[in-house]
Structure 1
């Protein structure tokens, strides 16, 4: 009996198969909608902020159609795999399918729920990128704070520090202390998720009770961003937020 559990996602994108393939098969493409990626010596490394990085390898590769990535386990077999399938449709759209296999720990139902919501957010980013910023390069800012506080407590602090608790579709002006003002439209909203689409990209804020962390992932398209100092400022802001 196969004990490996998996989740599957599917999204139709207003883009050609070539554009979607580029977005899921290159570090530059993955950075556009996911988190910053770099490749070296056969490994691909994803940066989730706050010193939290994850490395993996390409396990299987069918150019233009299918890519399978995996993270190594203690026995040499992949502990977790991510399969992307690209299929063109009539009318110029493309179907992207994602299958994630393998979960950590014993609380797999909570992990399944958490990963599922995370993929929903990131795939939404990809759809919105093709809709609003197609072809533009990205500059990412990612920061993550870790805490022993309950997620609801940290989330309430984050909302208070942003200066607004907006509803989906609402135009908002956020004023985090010591940081840039954020003006845009709420394009994602959940219990502990807030997404803002601005003139030049996306701001994403989320809290994760399972992994005891709170994060922001930011995407700036076609503009110059001084990433290192901006990342440091946001990391400091989250570290203050998660302090007890």
Structure 2
């Protein structure tokens, strides 16, 4: 198989091309639906929680239509790139196409590809949900990530147990994570190791990743005041207790 592979996604959004362009071409826009982004020394840095970040650059840009981001690959290899294409449709909607390329071969290729695909499905679902329920509102992001040697199913059982429920898609819930405010809303995302809740003011996402031995939670608060620093610390502590990595 060719070692340089491409992953493609497409979503139709209830938004104008200008709105979608802002959401995929600026750090503030990317933070609305992906993870926190900010400019750092001429690069754009994405914060995946728990001290994990990824820096990249804009490689190509056609204002209003197309932007390509690139992150360094392994030594001597070309970068991984993420291309966004914006296309307006009649009726006021916009199609966003995403193409990720620069994957490399290996025994875990299929799992890696599948993991990225599921991740983009979740984030693009966030973007569609933002335009549907929270369009125009600013966001405060809270992200926490931990690593563990435990199997994904074991971690997931712990996670749902500590949330106080393992609900189905469409179910209304009130989750009660210890030491944090309850999460009330409707389950809008569900998979084997994925749980997403849409609340009155945003989204809460929980995900376990077998391939990278990782568990994470991402929260989006739209149009409300949230102390990001203290809330992030609280969720990171919750994740650390879950994975057994809590600092003394």
With normalisation by structure 2, the TM-score equals 0.95
Equivalence for 2:136? 135
SS of match in other structure, 1:169: coil
Equivalence for 1:39? 39
Equivalence for 2:4? 4
Tell me, yes or no, if structure 1 residue 176 matches structure 2 residue 143: no
1:52 Cα deviation from its structure 2 partner: 0.5
The answer to whether the 8 Å contact 1:20/1:94 transfers is yes
**Shift in CA distance, 78/29, structure 1 to aligned 2, threshold 3 Å:** farther
1:243 Cα deviation from its structure 2 partner: 1.2
1:75 Cα deviation from its structure 2 partner: 4.6
The answer to whether the 8 Å contact 1:8/1:99 transfers is yes
Q: Which runs of 5+ in 1 are unaligned?
A: none
CA-to-aligned-CA distance 1:141-200 (integer Å, 9 cap, x gap): 000011011111001000000001111111000001111101000000000000000000
SS of match in other structure, 1:225: coil
Equivalence for 1:232? 233
With normalisation by structure 1, the TM-score equals 0.97
The answer to whether the 8 Å contact 1:70/1:78 transfers is no
Aligned counterparts, 1:1-244, within 5 A: 3-75=3-75, 78-104=78-104, 106=106, 107-243=108-244
1:76 Cα deviation from its structure 2 partner: 6.2
**Shift in CA distance, 198/171, structure 1 to aligned 2, threshold 3 Å:** same
Number of residues paired by the alignment?
Answer: 244
Counterpart-to-counterpart distance in 2, 1:18 and 1:118 = 25
